[in-house]
Amino acid sequence: MSRDERNTWIFGVVAIIAYAAYVIVIISRADGGPISAVDYVAPLLWSVGLAILANIVANIVLGILASIASGKEAMIKDQRDREIFRRSEYIGQSFVIAGAVAALLMAMAQWEYFWIANVIYLAFVLSAVLSATARIIAYRKGFPWE
Amino acid sequence: MGVKPTRVSNSIRALRFAHGEMTQADLAQRVGVTRQTIIAIEQGRYSPSLEMAFQIARVFQVPLDDVFQYGTSEGESS
């Protein structure tokens, strides 16, 4: 497994776990009341911050373990890695655009900040998961959608 | 989901064996890519850039056509 494929697994798994933890915290804080009344800002920032930190730590730790196991090759990034990254990011962008459009319409309709912030966060997570999935498929199967 | 092969086929595997049973790792090192990339090219899961194709041909000291072939129609190699 190349360095970028390994990092993609970490990226996708961390994004799912961080978002799931955030949703659990929000639901538990609602405690039967209206969910939009929950103070979501701190949990959201913690979720994003810890996800970034977990990504960095996991990349370093697994990178060291991989280089011990398979030497210098575990750290090489080549043209195929760059192509796969570029194409998968392009696919993931669709959710960012969908989230931005949804947030724009919600703001125009004067929805509560809670829903606007959360639809944007959900779009970022879905974008991350979709691009990570596309990247892993590209590593394993090539580019079957092209 | 099945693997969709590219229309570019290649003779890298045969050329490796014809060149002293060169390993995928050796070829990868000489071209400057990962072993996974060589495996993906050999299996038709990835079409290399023109520059990488020339680099691979140069390792074997053969013309590009001896390494890569392009299918003239679906599933057919020239």
Closest CA to B34 of A6, A76, A70: A76
More confidently predicted of A72 and A82: A82
- What is the model's pLDDT at position B74? 53
Quick check: A141 and B45 in contact, CB under 8 A? yes
Furthest-apart CA pair in chain A: how many Å? 56
Asked if pLDDT for residue A2 goes beyond 80, the answer is no
- What is the model's pLDDT at position A66? 81
- What is the model's pLDDT at position A142? 81
CA distances to A57, A105, A131, B25 from A92, rounded to whole Å, are: 24, 21, 4, 32
Asked if pLDDT for residue A1 goes beyond 90, the answer is no
pTM above 0.90, yes or no: no
What percent of chain A lies above the pLDDT cut of 70?
A: 95
Any chain A CB within 8 A of the CB of B34? yes
**What residues have CB less than 8 Å from A105, skipping those under 6 apart?**
none
Any chain A CB within 8 A of the CB of B23? no
The pair of structure tokens assigned to A74 is 């575990």
Using CB atoms, pick whichever of A2, A76, A142 lies closest to residue B46: A142
Residue of A4, A8, A78 for testing the chain B interface, max B β-carbons within 10 Å: A78
- A111/A109 Cα distance (integer angstroms): 6
- What is the model's pLDDT at position A107? 96
Residues of chain B scoring pLDDT < 70:
1-6, 72-78
Phi/psi at A2 (nearest 5 deg)?
A: -75, 165
- What is the model's pLDDT at position A24? 95
With an 8 Å Cβ cutoff, are B36 and A139 in contact? yes
ipTM above 0.95, yes or no: no
What percent of chain A lies above the pLDDT cut of 90?
A: 61
Using CB atoms, pick whichever of B1, B25, B49 lies closest to residue A144: B1
Task: For residue B33, list chain A residues with Cβ-Cβ distance below 8 A.
Answer: 76, 78-80
In chain B, the N- to C-terminal Cα span, in Å, equals 27
The string of pLDDT tens digits covering residues A18-52 is 999 999 999 999 888 888 889 999 999 999 999 99
Quick check: A42 and A123 in contact, CB under 8 A? no
- What is the model's pLDDT at position B72? 63
- A61/B57 Cα distance (integer angstroms): 37
CA distances to A3, A23, A43, A59, A100 from A50, rounded to whole Å, are: 22, 14, 10, 14, 24
